[in-house]
Amino acid sequence: MSEKKKISKHYHYLKSNFPEVLDAVENLGSTVRQAGPLDKKTTELIQLAVAAASGSTGAVNSHAKRALAAGADRQEIEHALLVLVSTIGFPKVAAALAWIQEVVD
């Protein structure tokens, strides 16, 4: 993966067509992460789990990348997904594990 952050075409579309909305969403995310005692790695792993539970491929990839950048390693990311088996089911967990392969390799 390159040092430069890859930004999707869809994100560019949203940012250029709805800049105020994207700015508000990004500011909200930053504000809530800083509002409590959890560190960035932990908040990214939580968001990764929620993304997997909702079946969002893009969000799973995004939060896996962010978790890596925040200091999580492959085993922590995979474990954060594996612990979901009893709540969201094996098929969703297996899908999320497949989605993150390019990110963690």
Domain that holds residue 26: 7-36
**What separation in angstroms does the CA of 7 have from each of 2, 43, 61?**
12, 21, 12
pLDDT for position 3: 40
How many domains does one find in the chain?
A: 2
Query: With a threshold of 0.85, does the pTM exceed it?
Result: no
pLDDT tens string 62-100: 999 999 999 999 999 999 999 999 999 999 999 999 999
CATH number at residue 63: 1.20.1290.10
